[in-house]
Amino acid sequence: MNAFEYATALSPDSARSLVGNQGAYLAGGNDLLGLLKDYLINADILVNIKSLPGLNKIEPGRRHWTLGTLVTIAEIEDNAGLAQAFPGLHDAAMEIASPQIRNVATVGGNLAQHSRCWYFRHRDTVCLKRGGDLCYARESDNRYHSLFTGNTCISPVVSSLATTFAALDATAIVLRNGKETPMKMDALYHRAWENPLAHNSLDPGDLILRVEIPTSRRSSAYMQVSDKHAFDWALVSCAAAADVVDGKLAHPRVALGSISPVPHQVEAANQFLNGKTLDDETASAAADMILKEARPLEHNAYKVPMAHALIRRTLLKLKG
Ligand SMILES: Cc1cc2nc3c(=O)[nH]c(=O)nc-3n(C[C@H](O)[C@H](O)[C@H](O)COP(=O)(O)OP(=O)(O)OC[C@H]3O[C@@H](n4cnc5c(N)ncnc54)[C@H](O)[C@@H]3O)c2cc1C
Ligand code: SF4
């Protein structure tokens, strides 16, 4: 590990000024410390943000709930009110990693975690995402990679919270250039869609402050498939959210994780589902629309039927 300075910030503004353009924010440290130990990133200062006041709260509201960036995954899992308001978010939190990791991993750190691509994570492989010339995964073992991408890198976003927040139409509030900047999940990851070097759309020093989740979708569900029962990222994940009125979906949204650099959403499918009563046939037609443009590679074609089944099952879990 390279040498770095260490500081604890006591306000978001001081965190921003301490981190400069070459530092990194330290939240739970689950991802960051591994990146540093494997020389995958080089930070000249780590700014501990765990003491930032007020950012560790879960606050209910009539129009939206607010999750501070320092709320842990375990706190999401254990909060009964949140589980009732957003069952899909509760189920997503429960699937993340292990209880030990969930106890320290934070909302902000989960959203900003870096690629899990094994070529990116190998310290001796300098792929496109690390500034090299080649995407090794494209011609090699791409079993965990994307079905959709807007650039040469096929590393997908693996944050389960991002997938669920996308279905819930949540907004991350990011401190950028001294201003609170709202970013929906497609904006938070859009840069990774078009730029192979990016993991998300955050600029150096951008600080996620909180996430606001609208209460307008009272039904939500989340499902994932992983190689291992626990302590593993999803091969494919799916979140769905809607208001269900007299058995009909209102404002439905479906998002998929681990198959694209952004949580994958197809607006035409959301519109198709709007006003529909769910049954197998309707859920299946929506899944067809969501996966129509999928471009599987040599080893990841299994994700297409897996995603299709997950979309159908997740949609059918939505309750009135
Ligand atoms: C075995 C294993 C399985 C896992 N399975 C899953 C899974 O299924 N689904 C899933 O979603 N995750 C999974 N994870 C990932 C885990 O949830 C993340 O490592 C964790 O959420 C990172 O959170 P952290 O608070 O520890 O972040 P840190 O490691 O502290 O930070 C991660 C990154 O985010 C940046 N950062 C942190 N906070 C902020 C902020 N407020 N603003 C801007 N940038 C910030 C840091 O600088 C760093 O680059 C798994 C991890 C492990 C080890
Ligand atoms: S998928 Fe992205 S991270 Fe993985 S080898 Fe290709 S360029 Fe690198």
CATH code at position 5:
3.30.43.10
Determine, yes or no, domain membership for 133: no
Domain count, the chain: 2
What's the CATH number where 191 sits?
Answer: 3.30.390.50
Q: What is the pLDDT of residue 164?
A: 98
Same structural domain, 94 and 174: yes
Q: Is the pLDDT of residue 64 over 80?
A: yes
CA dihedral 23, 154, 262, 224 (to 10 degrees): -110
**CB of 74 closer than 6 A to ligand 1?**
no
Which three-class secondary structure state does DSSP give residue 223? strand
Last residue of a domain, one of 35, 51, 67: 51
> What tokens appear for 67 in the block?
């999750």
Alpha carbon separation from 225 to 8, 14, 162, 256 (Å, rounded): 38, 41, 16, 12
Same structural domain, 23 and 79: no
Same structural domain, 108 and 236: yes
Query: In the structure, what pLDDT confidence band is assigned to residue 229 with cuts at 50, 70 and 90?
Result: confident
Same structural domain, 32 and 161: no
Q: What is the pLDDT of residue 297?
A: 98
| C-alpha of 266 from chain center | 17
Q: Determine the residue of 38, 41, 115 to mutate for testing ligand 2's pocket, defined as the one with the most ligand atoms within 8 A of the Cβ atom.
A: 115
CA 146 to ligand 2: nearest atom: 1
Same structural domain, 100 and 181: yes
- Among all chains, which residue has been given the structure tokens 């069952």? 87
Q: What is the pLDDT of residue 123?
A: 85
CA distance 40 to 213: 33
Same structural domain, 28 and 43: yes
Mean model confidence pLDDT for the chain: 97
DSSP state of 156: P
Give the tens place of pLDDT for each residue, 81-117. 999 999 999 999 999 999 999 999 999 999 999 999 9
Determine, yes or no, domain membership for 249: yes
Last residue of a domain, one of 32, 51, 70: 51
Same structural domain, 176 and 277: yes
Query: In the structure, what pLDDT confidence band is assigned to residue 274 with cuts at 50, 70 and 90?
Result: very high
Q: Is the pLDDT of residue 230 over 90?
A: no
Q: What is the pLDDT of residue 33?
A: 97
Alpha carbon separation from 35 to 123, 136, 140, 201 (Å, rounded): 9, 19, 23, 19
What pairing do the DSSP bridges indicate for beta strands 236-245 and 207-214? unpaired
Tell me the residue range of the domain where 179 lies.
58-112+155-316
**pLDDT mean over 251-275:** 98
Query: In the structure, what pLDDT confidence band is assigned to residue 319 with cuts at 50, 70 and 90?
Result: confident
Last residue of a domain, one of 36, 51, 66: 51
The neighbour count for residue 314, using CB atoms within 10 Å, is: 27
Determine, yes or no, domain membership for 205: yes
Determine, yes or no, domain membership for 121: no
> What tokens appear for 314 in the block?
């997740």
Same structural domain, 102 and 162: yes
pLDDT-above-70 percentage for the chain:
100
**CB of 28 closer than 6 A to ligand 1?**
yes
**pLDDT mean over 165-174:** 98
Determine, yes or no, domain membership for 120: no
Determine, yes or no, domain membership for 247: yes
Q: Count Cβ atoms within 10 A of the Cβ of residue 248 and give its class: 0-12 exposed, 13-18 middle, 19 or more buried.
A: middle
Alpha carbon separation from 196 to 154, 285, 305 (Å, rounded): 8, 32, 27
Give the tens place of pLDDT for each residue, 6-52. 999 999 999 999 999 999 999 999 999 999 999 999 999 999 999 99
**pLDDT mean over 228-241:** 95
Q: Which positions ≥6 away from 121 have C-beta within 8 Å?
A: 38, 40, 115
CA distance 302 to 312: 16
Same structural domain, 1 and 106: no
Determine, yes or no, domain membership for 150: no
Dist. CA 102 → ligand 1 center (Å): 10
Q: What is the pLDDT of residue 7?
A: 98
Same structural domain, 66 and 196: yes
Q: Determine the residue of 35, 125, 153, 295 to mutate for testing ligand 2's pocket, defined as the one with the most ligand atoms within 8 A of the Cβ atom.
A: 153
Determine, yes or no, domain membership for 118: no
- Among all chains, which residue has been given the structure tokens 């990851």? 189
Q: Is the pLDDT of residue 210 over 80?
A: yes
Which three-class secondary structure state does DSSP give residue 242? strand
**pLDDT mean over 70-84:** 98
Same structural domain, 164 and 47: no
CA distance 7 to 16: 12
**CB of 109 closer than 6 A to ligand 1?**
yes
Q: Give the side-chain half-sphere CA count within 13 A for 197.
A: 7
Which element (helix H / strand E) includes 233? none
Give the predicted TM-score (pTM) of the model. 0.98
Same structural domain, 102 and 250: yes
What pairing do the DSSP bridges indicate for beta strands 179-184 and 171-176? antiparallel
Query: In the structure, what pLDDT confidence band is assigned to residue 252 with cuts at 50, 70 and 90?
Result: very high
